[in-house]
Amino acid sequence: MAKGPGLYSDIGKKARDLLFRDYNSDQKFTITTYSPTGVAITSSGTRKGELFVADVNTQLKNKNITTDIKVDTSSNLFTNITINEPAPGLKAIFNFKVPDQRSGKVEVQYVHEYAGISTSVGLTANPVVNFAGVVGTNAIALGADLSFDTKIGELTKLNAGLNFTKDDLVASLTVNDKGDALNASYYHVVNPLTNTAVGAEVTHRISTNENTLTLGTQHALDPLTTVKARVNNFGKANALIQHQWRPKSFFTISGEVDTKAIEKSAKVGLSLALKP
């Protein structure tokens, strides 16, 4: 178990990954190649109905500096520069998008044994300032996540969260959207040898009095093949099977069916990720 409470984004992450990660209703492929100089080039494409979206990402690593440059089919250029460990526990991230001149942002992350801080500021005359902080240990963490828009002088985001970890169990509680949404999640490893786990998430929205409950599980059929399934209280059921057919290369088939409208066609997604 890692030391420290981590970052605010780690609160409830185990349950979110179990319930939502790798599920896909589109056709997606990702291929990564490496040049002789060590530059990684990743090409990806996603077909959503009749729409096809693609991008090419180039990653260059030089000591503790990682530079990512991505170009998509809309001719947008995304640049992300990450500096790892300029000081112990510190990470600096700079990113921007061309031609959007207001997209520039600088983020600094600091992870300590008893705290985790992430703060960012937009590179504009009236920037949006984000701050997320967590205090605690690897067993219990309490944090807050907020954004302040200096142009209008108001808080645009205000969230708070609590995370509890004990052996093979992780439970979390968050208050989001300025107190309008309450979210509780649960993750439990049933059998570590087969990577069998169960998870649940319930969200209550005060403004609409609506509740959303999602239950899920995962199990490794063998060291290279994992199956997952989930269902929510609206009758949407999903399942996937993921196979690692070579190191770092995955083939995933996922499907979704509306149990309250069986006559509708099921949605099927395919995902292929290839790395040498």
Given a contact cutoff of 8 angstroms between Cβ atoms, the answer to whether 270 and 253 are in contact is yes
pLDDT of residue 273 exceeding 60: yes
> Residue 226 above 80 pLDDT?
yes
Number of residues assigned to the chain: 276
CA distance 257 to 229: 12
Cβ proximity of 141 and 5 under 8 Å: yes
Per-residue pLDDT at 2 exceeds 70:
no
Whole-number mean pLDDT of the chain?
Answer: 94
- The contacts found for 185-188 with CB under 8 angstroms, 24 or more apart, are 185/12, 185/15, 185/16, 186/15, 187/14, 187/15, 187/18
Q: pLDDT tier at 38 (50, 70, 90 boundaries)?
A: confident
- pTM, two decimal places: 0.91
Is pLDDT at 1 greater than 50 in this prediction? no
Instruction: Give the per-residue pLDDT at 264.
Output: 84
**Residue 151 pLDDT > 90:** yes
Q: What pLDDT, in 10s, does the model give residues 83-97?
A: 999 999 999 999 999
Domains of the chain: 8-274 (2.40.160.10)
The residue behind tokens 């997209």 is 103
Long-range contacts, stretch 69-78, CB < 8 angstroms, 24+ apart: 76/100
